[in-house]
Each structure stands twice: as structure tokens, then as C-alpha cells.
Chain A
């Protein structure tokens, strides 16, 4: 019932403010791990060229949700999904939608930096190569642009052919971002991208998000409320697999509508 309340809230809100065009429309999404209901009847929209932060205590389903947006969640055994997610008005669970196509257009950055044990260059051009781009000059161009967009070019331009694991943790994470940008996706999903990084590296990633958000739709899961308030336009608060509240970030952090949201952001639980 709570979710319905949110929908009505959203709809009223939409009337009052001009929200950007939705890129994702989630409706009545339920997800089970075997018998455990991890996502309960989620319905909301994610809008273009905005940063949407998803916050909530551990185990609230925020990671599960973001992995549903590019169907990575299906790699886990015994997952059952019910409901609909429209991406550019097409249901991503339709047979006509190839997961590979979806994941090419929706990039993802993970909690722990996960570069391949290959050179920096080979990491960045992995996506283009997979999709059949083999021209060396083209790949070099892509690598330079992606690394520049990920604010890493100056640091690695002299060691493009060194192993990616020689880079620092923060550089590795920016490399992973560059790798995702290389296929020029629409959406970038970030699953707690700074949780394994030190404050300085975290700051650089946040700065980077700030720079690229005008070109990409970004959905970021974070356990840090400060981070959410610093970088996001909209914030969704999840609790026990339910969407409790979804609104503009400054609204959520200044005057949340739900008591539970307030309890969480003021640090009373979680």
C-alpha cells in the first residue's frame, strides 16, 4: 500500500514540476531469491540525464534493484522476477530485448574495482572489441576519449600497456568507469562505486560523476547519505525491499514525507 502512496505522490509531484522524460519506468516489480521476496512491488520512474541515488540500510534490496536494471541479477541462481521495467518504452524482460543489447546501452560500475588482468588499454577497449570493433586506430581513439572522459587519461597515458592491476584502487575504479563509457552507453549504473576507496579517491569519483552527469543518466547505489546528498538530483529510499520514498534530493534530505526516511537519514537506524 505504501508504494501506491508513493505513486500518487509522484503523480501529483509531476503535475507540479516538469520532470524530465523517464528513461526507465518500473512498475509492480517483485523479485524473489528462491522463496525470499527481495523486492516488493516497486513502481517508479528514473529520468534522463539525472543522477538518481538509491539509499537504504544493508539488505534493503538497493543492490538487487540496480542489478535488475541491466538484468545482471539473473546471473544469480534461483531468481524469479515478476512485473515490468520499461527502458525507452520497451520491456527489458521481453524476449525481443537481447540482454547483450541492454547491457551495451546500460553500463555498470561495481563495488570493488574489477578490471581484467590485462593492460589498461585492453581493459578500456574491451567493450568495443566484444562488439566487433578491431581497427587499431579506432580503438586507440576510443581509449583516449574514454579515459579522458573518466579523468584518467593524464595519469595513465604513459602506461597504457601496463597491467591494470598496477594502478591504485581509485585509478582502477576510474578505469572501470572508462571501460563502461567506451561503448557510449545511455545509462551508467553504479553499485556503491566508492565503498572500497579512500576519501581522496572517493572525491575524485564524485567529481567525475559531476562532470559526466550532463551526458549520462546515472543511477547510483550508496550507503553514504552525504554522498547521495552531494551528487544526486533525485533520491530513492529503500527499506526491506520496498520503496519508501522517492523525491528530489534536497526534499528528501530537508523535509522527508515519511517518518522512516527521516529516521534513516538522521541516523536513528541503519
Chain B
């Protein structure tokens, strides 16, 4: 077949096809109605894309307004005296040093307890648990604990730590209560981090004659450490802003003596915010104090979250 005949053949073919379609009822997809419809469909897609985007931006907007409002309210109140001063009924003189110290003391209990318990639980689940049923039970239990309202943890703390063990409203009682609250976060992130440690690193260690515990201590945990730390920081930032369990525990706000140890009474930044917010009805300026305290709390939280992100990025997996 030469080129000429081929061309004519093709033309013929095209002609036939055109005839065929126009001979029957014109194809639906070529009708003006369908074309209009298509234009509409595409338009709808474009419009809704914008709507969906605005929806996502809504979060940014709210965050922006929230921060702007709080910072605006705190201006003029957040100064060095506020950070280092003692609590006072007079808003002009009030400071939050006690609450800062209290929050730090609280974390001095929460951080070691959640880390030790959380990482150990994760190690057990990922490295030792042979009993699949027990493993499943513990895993389900942890994901349920993560969903228990924090106020319920407060009731547990009040009853067991506060009353049964007689710890009252001390740093230890509050710290242990919040540790249980933060535990699921550390367990889940440590589990993920440990699971991500490749098998060949464990193999290399065993082949050197290392025991299981040596392998865990020298290879598994160090390799998983960035992931574990990220989880721990998230747990800290969750618990440091927690209020409800402490209110239930009966943590007071008017503490004039700074806590000296874990058995002392204490107050924290969120508790301070809570009572000042409630008392705005009495004294308008308390709202400014609450806002200034929120700024301090948010700076701490943003620092924590940023450091979690930095750790996550800096120790990217290399193997």
C-alpha cells in the first residue's frame, strides 16, 4: 500500500465514522447540553477548590485572631516584674513567678515518669511481648486511655494519689496524675520509633555476640531516640497546658510560698490563667493578667513544638 492510497483510505475511514455518528442520534457527549454541563462541572470543581482552600485557611485565620487578641490584651502587662513577681490581689503588682516555678516542678515529675514508663512499655510491646493476646490488650488499652477525658484522670488522681496515698495537692500528686495522662503519647510514638529501627542493625549487634538487653540499650534505643524524644516533647507540651485534672485535684491558685520540693503545694500557669479568667467578672484587669500568662505559656509551647520539629528534621534516618 503506497502513501496515496493510505491517505485516501484514512479519509474514507474518517468520513465513514463521521457519517455513522451523525447518521444516528448525535452522540450525547457532543451535544451542546453536555458541553454546557461539562463547563459547569469544571467551574464547580474550580469554585469548590477555592472553598476547600478557604476552609483550610480558616484554621490559620482563627489561630491568627487568637494570638493577636491575646498578645494585644497582654501588652503593657507582660514585663519583667510580671515574670519574677509574687502573686497579688492587686493586678498592678501581680506576678507569676510562683506559677512558673510550679509548672517546672510539675514537669520535673512528669518528664522522668512518662519517659521511663512510656519507653519501657514500648520496649516491652515491640521487643519482648510474645503473648499476642496480652500485646493486643495493652495496645487497645493504651489507645482507649488516650481517649479518656482529662477530667477523669483528675478524678483518678484525686482519689488514688490525693486521698488514698495521702499526697494531697502536692507536686507529686499532680505530676503522677499528668504522667498517666501523657503516657499514651510517649508509648505510641516510642513504639513507632522502635519499630522503625531496621532489623539489620539488630542483626549486626547480635552477630557481635551482644545480648538482647545490650542490643536494646546500645542499638535500638539510641537509634530510636529522636522519635522517642519527639513523642516525649509532645507529651510535655500536652501536659504542661493541662488544667482540668489539676483543678479536680484541688490545686489552689493562691500559693504565696514557692514550692521547694515535690511534696509541696504548688500552682501552675494554666491554673493561674483559669482563676484569673473566672475573676474577670470582679476585676477587669485580670483578663490582661490571664492574657499575659497565656503568652508566656504559648511561648513555652511553641518552643517545645519547634524543638520537636527540629529534632525530627535534624536526625533524619540515614540508614
Q: Supply 8 further A-B pairs (C-beta < 8 A) apart from A165-B318, A183-B209.
A: A75-B203, A100-B210, A103-B207, A112-B200, A114-B200, A114-B204, A117-B223, A126-B210
A32 within 8 A of B: no
Residues of A within 8 A of B204 (CB): 110, 114-116, 176, 179
* Stretch of B166-174, B186-194, B214-222, B305-313 with 4 or more beta carbons under 8 angstroms from chain A: B214-222
Residues of B within 8 A of A224 (CB): none
Cα–Cα distance between A108 and B206 once the two chains are bound (Å): 10
Residues of A within 8 A of B218 (CB): 126, 129-130
Residues of B within 8 A of A126 (CB): 205, 208, 210, 218
Residues of B within 8 A of A116 (CB): 201, 204-205, 219, 223
Cα–Cα distance between A103 and B209 once the two chains are bound (Å): 4
Minimum distance in angstroms from A66 CB to a CB of chain B = 11
Which residues of chain A from 102 to 120 have any CB-CB distance to chain B below 8 Å in the complex? 102-105, 107-108, 110, 112, 114-118
Residues of B with Cβ closer than 8 Å to A? 200-211, 214, 218-219, 222-223, 318-319
Residues of A within 8 A of B319 (CB): 114, 117, 165
The residue in chain B whose Cβ has the minimal distance to the Cβ of A128 is B208
Which residues of chain A from 140 to 198 have any CB-CB distance to chain B below 8 Å in the complex? 163, 165, 176, 179-180, 183
Decide: B203 and A72 in contact? CB cutoff 8 A: yes
The residue in chain B whose Cβ has the minimal distance to the Cβ of A71 is B206
Minimum distance in angstroms from A111 CB to a CB of chain B = 9
**A-B CB contact pairs (8 Å), 26 listed:** A70-B207, A100-B209, A100-B211, A103-B206, A103-B209, A105-B209, A107-B208, A110-B203, A110-B207, A114-B200, A114-B201, A114-B203, A116-B204, A116-B219, A116-B223, A117-B222, A117-B223, A118-B222, A126-B210, A127-B210, A130-B205, A130-B209, A131-B209, A163-B318, A180-B208, A183-B209
A101 within 8 A of B: yes
Decide: B209 and A127 in contact? CB cutoff 8 A: yes
Given contacts A114-B201, A116-B219, A129-B218, A107 and B207 within 8 Å (CB-CB): yes
Residues of A within 8 A of B205 (CB): 116, 126, 130
Cα–Cα distance between A70 and B222 once the two chains are bound (Å): 26
Minimum distance in angstroms from B172 CB to a CB of chain A = 36
Which residues of chain A from 50 to 78 have any CB-CB distance to chain B below 8 Å in the complex? 70, 72, 75
The residue in chain B whose Cβ has the minimal distance to the Cβ of A108 is B207
Residues of B within 8 A of A99 (CB): 209
The residue in chain A whose Cβ has the minimal distance to the Cβ of B204 is A114
Cα–Cα distance between A110 and B203 once the two chains are bound (Å): 9
Minimum distance in angstroms from A181 CB to a CB of chain B = 11
Cα–Cα distance between A104 and B208 once the two chains are bound (Å): 6
Minimum distance in angstroms from B315 CB to a CB of chain A = 9
Residues of B within 8 A of A179 (CB): 204, 208
Q: What is the interface size of chain A, counting residues whose CB is below 8 A from a CB of the partner?
A: 30
Cα–Cα distance between A99 and B209 once the two chains are bound (Å): 7
Residues of B within 8 A of A101 (CB): 209
Residues of B within 8 A of A108 (CB): 207
The residue in chain A whose Cβ has the minimal distance to the Cβ of B319 is A117
Residues of A within 8 A of B208 (CB): 103-104, 107, 126-127, 130, 179-180, 183
The residue in chain A whose Cβ has the minimal distance to the Cβ of B210 is A130
Cα–Cα distance between A100 and B215 once the two chains are bound (Å): 12
Minimum distance in angstroms from B267 CB to a CB of chain A = 43
Minimum distance in angstroms from B195 CB to a CB of chain A = 16
- 1/0 contact string of A80-124 vs chain B (CB within 8 Å): 000000000000000000011111110110101011111000000
Cα–Cα distance between A110 and B199 once the two chains are bound (Å): 12
Minimum distance in angstroms from A100 CB to a CB of chain B = 5
Cα–Cα distance between A99 and B205 once the two chains are bound (Å): 13
Residues of B within 8 A of A110 (CB): 200, 203-204, 207
Residues of B within 8 A of A183 (CB): 208-209
The residue in chain A whose Cβ has the minimal distance to the Cβ of B207 is A108
Decide: A130 and B318 in contact? CB cutoff 8 A: no
Cα–Cα distance between A118 and B220 once the two chains are bound (Å): 12
The residue in chain A whose Cβ has the minimal distance to the Cβ of B200 is A114
Residues of B within 8 A of A100 (CB): 209-211
Minimum distance in angstroms from A96 CB to a CB of chain B = 16
Residues of B within 8 A of A130 (CB): 205, 208-211, 214, 218
Most buried by A among B201, B202, B203, B207: B207
Kindly list the 5 A-B residue pairs having the minimum CB-CB distance in the complex, ordered from nearest.
A104-B209, A103-B209, A108-B207, A114-B200, A165-B318
Residues of B within 8 A of A72 (CB): 203, 206-207
Cα–Cα distance between A70 and B218 once the two chains are bound (Å): 21
Most buried by B among A107, A110, A127, A130: A130
Minimum distance in angstroms from A134 CB to a CB of chain B = 12
Residues of A within 8 A of B207 (CB): 70, 72, 103, 107-108, 110, 180
Minimum distance in angstroms from A257 CB to a CB of chain B = 34
Cα–Cα distance between A176 and B207 once the two chains are bound (Å): 11
Residues of A within 8 A of B210 (CB): 100, 126-127, 130
Residues of B within 8 A of A176 (CB): 204
Residues of B within 8 A of A112 (CB): 200
